[in-house]
Amino acid sequence: MADLTGKTVAFLTSEHGIEEAELTTPWQAVQEAGGTPILVSAESGTVSAVNHDLDPGGSYPVDRTVDQVDVAELAALVIPGGTVNADTLRTQSASVALVKDVLAAGIPVAAICHGPWTLIEAGVVDGVTLTSYPSLATDLRNAGATWVDQELVRSEVGTTTVLTSRNPDDLPVFSAAVVEAAAGS
Q: What residues does 65 pair with on adjacent strands? A: 41
User: Among 77, 113, 122, 178, which one carries the catalytic annotation?
Assistant: 113
- Residue 3: is it exposed, middle or buried by C-beta count within 10 angstroms (0-12/13-18/19+)? exposed
Please tell me the distance from the alpha carbon of residue 68 to that of residue 141, in angstroms, as a whole number.
33
| Cα dihedral value 75, 86, 167, 145, nearest 10 | -80
Residue 32 appears among annotated catalytic residues: no
What are the residue numbers of the active site?
113
